Amino acid sequence: MKRSTERTAVLVATLLKRSGQRRARISENTIRVLSKRRTLRDAFKERLRSELDDLGIHLVQLERGGFGVIPINALNGAPAITAKKYLVDELKKL
C-alpha cells in the first residue's frame, strides 16, 4: 500500500535529521522506497514538496537526478543580496 505524502515527508525529514547533514541529496529510488511507490508522478512530488515545506525542509529536484534537501532555517544566516548593489548597470538600462 502506498504511503501518503505526509508520511513520506516525515520519513524524509527523519532521514535528513538522522544523517546529521545540513544539506543532502536523496535519490529517486530512496523516495520510491520511502513512499512505497513504483513511479513518482509530478503531482506526488509537488505534494511532497509542500509537506516538507510545512516541516521546514526545502526539496529541490536536481538536473542530474534525485533531489536536494536543506532545512529552511539553514538560510537564516545567509548574507542578503540586493539588486541595488549587484545590478546597478542593468537597473539603469531599464
Say if residue 69's pLDDT is above 80: yes
The confidence score (pLDDT) of residue 71 equals: 95
Say if residue 31's pLDDT is above 90: yes
Residue with cell 534537501: 69
Q: Each residue of 32-42: pLDDT tens digit?
A: 999 999 999 99
- Please give the average per-residue pLDDT across 11-20, as a whole number: 97
Say if residue 91's pLDDT is above 90: no
More confident residue, 78 or 68: 68
- Please give the average per-residue pLDDT across 51-75, as a whole number: 95
Helices marked H in the chain:
5-19, 28-35, 42-54, 83-86, 88-93
The confidence score (pLDDT) of residue 77 equals: 85
CA distances for 18 relative to 51, 64, 76, 79, 93, angstroms = 19, 25, 21, 27, 49
Share of the chain above pLDDT 70, in %: 100
